[in-house]
Structures are given as C-alpha cells and as structure tokens.
Amino acid sequence: MIHETVFIHGEPNIGKNVTIGEHTKIGHNVFVGDNVKIGRYCKIQGNAFIPEGVIIEDYVFVGPGVTFTNTKRPDMHKTPVYELTRIYSEAVIGANATILCGVIIGRNSFVGAGSVVTKSVPDNKLVKGNPAK
C-alpha cells in the first residue's frame, strides 16, 4: 500500500506488495523491490536501489545512488534466500553508500557518503569508509 500523500518523482520502478508510509518522497529512477516496507516521512533520493528484504522505518534519509543488497550468494539457478536488512528511524545514509544484506542500521545513525556497510551499526553512531567503521 502506498499512502496517498507519498510524492513519487520521475520514473521509479516499484514492485508488488510495497508499503510506503505517509509524506515519504521517492526520487527519480528509484528501484523498490517486491515486499519492501518504507516508513513515514522518509526521503529516498534518486537512483537508489532497494531490493526485496529491506525494511526502512520512519524519518530515514537515503541519499542518491544508495545500493542495498539482499543476498550473500546470488545463484541464478536456485530460489534466492533474502537476508533482512533493517534501517531504524531517523537514520541517514549518505550518497552512493552500499549496504550489504543482513545488517541493521541503528536509530539516529549516520552512514557517510560512499561507505560500504558490512556490519550492523549501533544507535547514534557515525560510520564511514570501506569497510565502514
């Protein structure tokens, strides 16, 4: 369900059974996979890639070009097993960051631009770099 107050800009690709909360803004050319949940008052900037297995809570900022992954072992010949990735309320993810599957980004945390997040981030922390520390 996509709330009626959601603003969708440009040409996004939004899958089946997606939930997007009220007053969220989705930028140009964003991919949102099947069964993704995005909370209220979020801002998802252009060219973000959010595949199945991702949950984004309320008041989250996802910068332009952010990429989430959803499986550690992609295999075109088997049914994929997606790992849950969760972004808690009020987190900020900077431009072009990559978030590997199975991690949790804590409440009010900040991921620096261009970072590669390979491990969960506690609440109220700033991480940056490759791998993000």
Does residue 130 register a pLDDT over 90?
Answer: yes
Distance from chain centroid for Cα 71: 14
Q: Where are the domains of the chain?
A: 1-127
What pTM did the predictor assign? Answer: 0.95
pLDDT tens across 33-79, in order? 999 999 999 999 999 999 999 999 999 999 999 999 999 888 777 78
Exposed / middle / buried, residue 23 (Cβ in 10 Å: 0-12, 13-18, 19+): middle
pLDDT at residue number 73 = 80
CA distance 18 to 64: 20
Confirm if 29 and 12 have CB atoms less than 8 A apart: yes
CA angle at 123 for the pair 6 and 54, rounded to the nearest 5°: 45
79, 62 Cβ separation under 8 angstroms: no
Confidence grade of residue 80 (pLDDT, cut at 50, 70, 90) = confident
CATH code of the domain occupying 1-127: 2.160.10.10
